[in-house]
């Protein structure tokens, strides 16, 4: 993870190496495959689903940032994901595309920068929220998603379904290990458990089971969080047994975050201050 959060500099091909790579048989084959993969995706039901989901945010994004792509020269899945990125940029009409993965080789960088004209950056994250960037993070680990949410506060990202990739954790463990992701997951949950008029949760009349795990009460504190609402779109056509791209896009989902209003954050802070003042002014019994 340090290669992502620090200013990790990739080794780039020299001018002489670029000339050699331009004639390299393996590079030429990779470019041919990339074009074929993009054509295949363009004609698929999967990409139609993606276009439909992205249409509402199309006027709102002006950049794409791709992280955790893998090596497109060395991996078929990564090459399919790169073809998807190219199709994504084409549909959105975006020319400003930046990519980063610490595993990129010189050949990968040549393909990305010299053929696709993308910007291969170094590691690290900004400190200011970017409202116009769509993040594409195919199969990014939870650690990376957590850092991204904390540092760049994205409003739009295509990545692993945040629910599917956290269901192996209990709510308490998820909140303890990835607090911001936990807050995001909590936003996506359905209605809270119904409570009766006297504020007690209704209990089933069925016979109680022994040794049943009960989740502890968790304090989901959004006071200092930008997270307001979450809208998720899953893609039914992203994984098909007979598709050539295999699991390249399995569990891919579009996450659209509606940020909390500053006024709401201020109200939360004021309420906390009022509670503290009340506690201080209340004499101990």
- Over residues 214-267, the pLDDT tens digits come to 677 898 999 999 999 999 999 999 887 778 898 899 899 999 999 987 545 555
CB environment 217-249: b (16+ within 10 A), e (fewer): eeeeeeeebbbeebebbebeebbeeebebeebb
pLDDT computed for residue 158 by the predictor: 97
Q: Does the residue 264 lie in any domain?
A: yes
Does any domain span residue 207?
Answer: no
Is the residue at 48 inside a domain? yes
Structure tokens belonging to residue 99: 């990519």
> For 145, left (φ over 0), alpha (ψ -120 to 50), or beta?
alpha
Say what the pTM is: 0.82
Helix, strand or coil, per DSSP, at residue 233? strand
The DSSP symbol for 81 reads: H
pLDDT attached to residue 209: 58
pLDDT tens-digit profile of 28-52? 999 999 999 999 999 999 999 999 9
Q: Is residue 151 part of a domain?
A: yes
Q: What is the pLDDT of residue 262?
A: 56
Cβ pair 104, 10 in contact under 8 A? yes
Give a yes or no: residue 36 inside a domain: yes
Q: Which domain holds residue 138?
A: 2-191+223-281
CATH value at residue 177: 3.40.50
DSSP of 111-178, one letter per residue? IIIIIS--EE--S---SS--TTEEEEETT--HHHHHHHHHHT--SEEEEE-TTTTTTTS-HHHHHHH-
Give the total number of structural domains in the chain.
Answer: 1
Tokens of 128: 């200011």
Residue 61, judged by CB atoms within 10 A of its CB (0-12, 13-18, 19+), counts as buried
Residues ≥6 apart with Cβ < 8 Å to 7: 122, 123, 124
């Amino acid at each position: 993870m340090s290669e992502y959060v620090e200013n990790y500099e990739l080794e780039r091909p020299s001018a002489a190496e670029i000339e050699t790579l331009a004639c390299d048989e393996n590079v030429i084959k990779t470019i041919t495959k990339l074009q074929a993969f993009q054509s295949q995706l363009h004609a698929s039901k999967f990409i139609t689903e993606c276009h439909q989901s992205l249409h509402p945010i199309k006027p709102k994004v002006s950049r794409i940032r791709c992280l955790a792509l893998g090596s497109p020269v060395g991996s078929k899945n990564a090459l399919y994901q790169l073809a998807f990125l190219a199709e994504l940029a084409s549909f959105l009409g975006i020319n400003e595309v930046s990519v980063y993965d610490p595993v990129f080789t010189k050949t990968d960088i040549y393909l990305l920068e010299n053929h696709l004209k993308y910007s291969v950056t170094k590691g690290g994250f900004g400190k200011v929220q970017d409202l116009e960037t769509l993040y594409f993070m195919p199969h990014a680990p939870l650690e990376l998603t957590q850092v991204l949410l904390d540092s760049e506060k994205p409003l739009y990202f295509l990545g692993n379904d945040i629910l599917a990739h956290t269901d192996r954790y209990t709510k308490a463990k998820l909140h303890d290990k990835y607090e911001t992701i936990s807050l995001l997951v909590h936003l996506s949950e359905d209605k809270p458990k119904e409570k009766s008029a006297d504020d007690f949760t209704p209990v089933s009349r069925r016979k109680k089971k022994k040794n049943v795990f009960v989740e502890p009460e968790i304090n989901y504190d959004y006071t200092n969080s930008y997270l307001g609402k979450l809208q998720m779109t899953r893609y039914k056509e992203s994984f098909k047994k007979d598709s050539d791209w295999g699991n390249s896009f399995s569990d891919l989902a579009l996450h659209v975050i509606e940020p909390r209003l500053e006024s709401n954050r201020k109200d939360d802070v004021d309420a906390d201050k009022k509670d503290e003042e009340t506690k201080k002014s209340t004499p101990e019994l």
